[in-house]
Structure 1
């Protein structure tokens, strides 16, 4: 019966991915061989739960890389050989923790656990209990490097895959977002209560306020790392003409202002209106009306524990007086906490041109854009070519 649930769940997952995220679907590997699974069991000295066997016989993990199929925990599905490798690594880690007593060791990692999903950046990942004869046999948990293994995710892998299929079919409500043929898991901060008014008076000169970083300039050079995190959208930004990026920066800045409540203030709205008309902003100064408004908002946002509005007030400076490349990256960072479809919005603001591949070291090493500092990649690429 459980094997049927595994197959039914993968049927639903595969069908959804084929339709909505074909690039992610393409990373799922073909079935494992029975002999490979048996060899893994013998090497690790455990019997895989039937659900895990059934899943491996459907997909022997997912290919590595940015496009890889990942669970909602952002863990990549591991194949049979990777399960062996990661599980052996976890056993080695556990053996080095001599200061743990028996009870602590059991909640951290024991030989009866397997890792079948890997976060990859850290040792974290999805686990399954392979201790036969226990009620927990086949149960799903997750390992956290700092706290150990926490079970209770699902009673079986079949049940866990069913929950995943439900999430996908719920779309954005379940955290499943698609862009450019790929699956992303996105959750945003719940909106807090609104506060502030368009007729709030500006603070007086004697009021103690945090100062803004007004050292930015439109000529500032952006490090590659800021764009690299945007993947194919970052590559697109690096390739488009500066004016096209500046237009997108203005649109993104307006979105941030509206979504965080900054647009209600006349000083902010007036500055954004002027930018959209192509007017040069006034020289930045801490005592100017716009700066006073932003400084005041930062203080009030701290009082209301409104992090997005504080971030928006701090970064508005860079959007108005700084590099459009930096502004786009910062707007994307803020909107990623607020809007699940921020990628599609950014692509639209850039004019919906064809997207390049996800950039690699060769892309950044051969990039020649004076607004972007790719010197380290260029040096490494040059050494590789030499």
Structure 2
């Protein structure tokens, strides 16, 4: 019996999503109608490669939004009507290019079947019949144009995607709260420094820390918006619960980056756990001297994550717990894909709210979070 790589790959993809990311699976559309695809071919003046035709007969795109099914390139699967719309848009962009420029940028015989959304970037398929490249998969980039070589066919590309999903985090596929996310962690470099390293003289030239933060500082809502449902959870939980999570997150950062080996850091973390006030924030304070030294050493080692950890630890010790959580997860997101699960656990694992929208931020009333712009927009929308 003749193999059907598109159907076989979608079988594997769908099965994996049903089991591991049901919310993402639910965004995949039902089959397209043959007549709709034929009408799109006629409108665009191209013949869809058989694999694209077969894929659309399985899933006619994916609903847009944070839960949407996306390829590992972060491009959302497009429906027939969206393929027509995005392809027409690309043709309009390429109007006026000479033949040589168009060859590298965009040809009318290309289709876009996956969209990045924030830009015109997206996955493309070659519809030039009679060529060896017919059905080949490439990607368009705003700045550089279209490049191929990702796969010889959509069937092969979907099979590779199924392999990535089945490899889990080794393939970059991460799940949280029923959603598929594409992320890869970059391991930290070799550890350096010693707990026995003496503190520098107080007059030694070292990078200075920004010690202007205060526990009462207000956090702009933009810092939480990117955390999606976890950002919404942080916004509605009691401040004491957020402060506890901030301390636990700060401890994770210190342990994972090796800063916990320094006695000055361990001491303040232990004091925070006992709900004791931290030492006065001064540049000559032993704890501050240690963090300044670590920053100087990290600069020498070209170790950005450990430098960030030392810089941002200030917010966890002397600043707002909301800002502290945001700083901790921004650091941990570079070297672990488990940061969402860890944060949810540190917050006590309560039920997660929906991914916040403008209405959520517009109706939020938390004095620790500045959502005034959203509130004004919401009020205006309500008349």
- Structure 1 residue 293 and structure 2 residue 257: aligned? no
Counterpart Cα distance in 2 of 1:193 and 1:94: 48
Partner of 2:104: 107
Partner of 1:214: 211
Deviation at 1:262, TM superposition (A): 1.2
Partner of 2:69: 69
User: What is the DSSP-based 3-state SS (H/G/I as helix, E as strand, rest coil) of the residue aligned with 2:186?
Assistant: coil
Counterpart Cα distance in 1 of 2:191 and 2:346: 27
Counterpart Cα distance in 1 of 2:336 and 2:2: 37
User: What is the DSSP-based 3-state SS (H/G/I as helix, E as strand, rest coil) of the residue aligned with 1:359?
Assistant: coil
**Residues 298-335 of structure 1: CA distance to partner in whole angstroms, max 9, x if unpaired?**
11111111111011111000010000000001111111
Q: Residue 3 of structure 1 contacts residue 51 of structure 1 at CA under 8 Å; is this kept in 2? A: no
- Out of 231, 235, 246, the position equivalent to 1:234 is 231
- Structure 1 residue 326 and structure 2 residue 323: aligned? yes
**Residues 267-298 of structure 1: CA distance to partner in whole angstroms, max 9, x if unpaired?**
11111111111110011001111111111111
Ranges in structure 1 where 5+ consecutive residues have no aligned partner: none
User: What is the DSSP-based 3-state SS (H/G/I as helix, E as strand, rest coil) of the residue aligned with 2:167?
Assistant: helix
- Out of 264, 276, 292, the position equivalent to 2:261 is 264
Deviation at 1:102, TM superposition (A): 3.4
Partner of 1:23: 23
Deviation at 1:217, TM superposition (A): 0.3
Q: Residue 168 of structure 1 contacts residue 174 of structure 1 at CA under 8 Å; is this kept in 2? A: yes
Partner of 1:356: 353
Partner of 1:384: 381
Partner of 1:57: 57
Counterpart Cα distance in 1 of 2:194 and 2:373: 47
Deviation at 1:219, TM superposition (A): 0.1
Ranges in structure 2 where 5+ consecutive residues have no aligned partner: none
Partner of 2:134: 137
State how 1:1-386 maps to structure 2 within 5 Å.
4-96=4-96, 98=97, 102-386=99-383
- CA change 1:303–1:347 in 2 (3 A) is same
User: What is the DSSP-based 3-state SS (H/G/I as helix, E as strand, rest coil) of the residue aligned with 2:150?
Assistant: strand
User: What is the DSSP-based 3-state SS (H/G/I as helix, E as strand, rest coil) of the residue aligned with 1:203?
Assistant: coil
Q: Residue 2 of structure 1 contacts residue 158 of structure 1 at CA under 8 Å; is this kept in 2? A: no
User: What is the DSSP-based 3-state SS (H/G/I as helix, E as strand, rest coil) of the residue aligned with 1:126?
Assistant: strand
Moved more, 244-253 or 187-196: 187-196
Deviation at 1:258, TM superposition (A): 1.2
**Residues 234-259 of structure 1: CA distance to partner in whole angstroms, max 9, x if unpaired?**
11001100000000000001111111
Q: Residue 2 of structure 1 contacts residue 51 of structure 1 at CA under 8 Å; is this kept in 2? A: no
Query: How many residue pairs get matched?
Result: 383
Deviation at 1:3, TM superposition (A): 7.0
TM-score, normalised via structure 1 length: 0.97
Q: Residue 141 of structure 1 contacts residue 151 of structure 1 at CA under 8 Å; is this kept in 2? A: yes
User: What is the DSSP-based 3-state SS (H/G/I as helix, E as strand, rest coil) of the residue aligned with 1:230?
Assistant: coil
Which 4+ stretches in 1 moved above 2 angstroms? 101-105
Counterpart Cα distance in 2 of 1:102 and 1:299: 53
Give the CA RMSD over aligned residues.
1.2
